[in-house]
Amino acid sequence: MLDILDATAVRRWARLAADALGRTRREIDTLNVFPVPDGDTGTNLHLTVLAAAESVAELPEEAPLPEVWRALSRGALMGARGNSGVIVSQILRSLAEILGSGGRPDGPLLEEALAYATELARAAVAHPVEGTILTVLRAASEAAGGTTAAEVARSAARGARRALRETTGQLDVLAERGVVDAGAAGLCVLLDALVAVVTEEYPERYEVPARDETKSVVIAHPAEKDFGYEVIYLLETEDERVPELRAALDVLGDSLVVVGGDGLWNVHVHVDDAGAAIEAGLAAGRAYRIRVTHLGTAKAPRAPHTGRGVVAVTAADGLAALFEEAGASVVRRPSGGLPQLAVLVEAILLAGDEVAVLPNEPEVLALAEAAAARARDSGVKIAVIPTEASVQGLAALAVHDPLRHFHEDVIEMAGTARATRFGGLQVAAEEAMTTVGICQPGDVLGLLEGDVVMIGSSAGEVTRGLLNRMLSGGGELVTMITGVGVPPGLVAEVEEELHARRPDVELTVYDGGQVLYPVLLGVE
Quick check: 276 and 252 in contact, CB under 8 A?
Answer: yes
Q: For residues 211 and 208, give the distance between their C-alpha atoms in angstroms, rounded to a whole number.
A: 9
pLDDT at 306: 61
Tell me what the pLDDT averaged over the chain comes to.
Answer: 88
With 70 as the cut, is the pLDDT of residue 375 above it?
Answer: yes
Of 296, 289, 287, 358, nearest to 327 by C-alpha is 358
Q: How confident is the model at residue 95 (pLDDT cuts 50, 70, 90)?
A: very high
Of residues 177 and 159, the one with the higher pLDDT is 159
Q: What is the 3-state secondary structure (H, E, C) of 314-364?
A: ECCHHHHHHHHHCCCEEEECCCCCCCCHHHHHHHHHHHCCEEEEECCCHHH
Q: What is the pLDDT of residues 131-160, one digit of tens each?
A: 999 999 999 999 999 999 999 999 999 999
273 contacts 341 by C-beta, under 8 angstroms: yes
More confident of the two residues 432 and 225 = 432
Quick: pLDDT tens for 188-243: 999 999 999 999 998 888 988 887 655 444 333 334 456 778 899 999 999 999 99
Residue 105: pLDDT band with limits 50, 70, 90? very high
Spacing of C-alpha 522 from chain mean position: 28
Please give the helix or strand (H or E) that residue 423 lies within, else none: strand 421-427
Paired strand residues for 261: 264
Contact 285, 260 (CB under 8 A): no
In this structure, of 74-78, 244-248, 305-309, 505-509, the range with the lowest mean pLDDT score is 305-309
- This prediction's pTM: 0.66
- Residues 519 and 513: their CA atoms lie apart, in Å, by 10
Q: What is the pairing mode between strands 264-271 and 253-261?
A: antiparallel
Distance CA 182, CA 73 (A): 22
Identify the residue with better confidence: 296 or 245.
245
Asked whether residue 161 carries a pLDDT value surpassing 90, the answer given is: yes
Q: What is the mean pLDDT of residues 426-442?
A: 88
Q: Count how many residues are written for the chain.
A: 524
Give the C-alpha separation, 234 to 41, whole Å: 19
Phi-psi region of 77 (alpha: psi -120 to 50; beta: other; left: phi over 0): alpha
